[in-house]
Amino acid sequence: MNRTPSALKTNHPAIVLASTSPFRRELLGKLGLAFDVGAPDVDEQRHPHETPEQLVRRLAEAKAKAVARQHPDALVIGSDQVACIDEQILGKPGNRDRAIEQLSLASGKRVTFYTGLCLYNNRTDQARTSCELFHVHFRDLDKQQIERYLDREQPYNCAGSFKSEGLGIALFRRLEGDDPNTLIGLPLIRLISFLEAEGVQVP
């Protein structure tokens, strides 16, 4: 179990991030709270007829509860994200060829990211969940631009085949959403409201 220290002393329950993503860990670190990190063992297969919102809400809660088994008195944060173009869900590409396909499909279009968030109180068995949307409007991209980008960042483990916190920003024409952290994978504005409802004050 990894721990991110904080200089702040608190009386609230332990906080655990149910994710091994370095991006989510860095985002949560912005809040100045001490937290542990756990790896959720969850089947992420989409259920038949499940909408993107239903999928990310379910997986965020499942991840939080999976890690909560090891932390009986903790507040556990789960999150999941998918990208959609024209109702089609884009998963993590996994390899270069699939990433080229995804970015070619996104060229000149609006891609909607659905990010599920869950704060699970293992002491009270209460789960607070939400689905936050963020829209990315892509520039018109040719194959050479796409290949140059992929050669630089190799974002094969990222939904949508890009890293918005890196060079991926060069692929966009416009961003549209309430919380830019949502696009990276953890909606901090919504999470802060969930934490405050559980007695955790930020800041």
Active site (catalytic) residues: 80
Residue carrying the six token digits 């542990």: 36
Q: Which residues in the chain belong to E strands, given as ranges?
A: 2-4, 15-17, 35-37, 75-85, 88-90, 110-121, 126-138, 172-177
2, with CB counted inside 10 A (0-12, 13-18, 19+), is exposed
Find how far residue 109's CA is from the centre of its chain.
21
What's the rounded Cα separation, in Å, for the pair 15 and 200?
10
What's the rounded Cα separation, in Å, for the pair 182 and 13?
25
N residues, the chain: 203
- Hey, what are 160's tokens? 């949508």
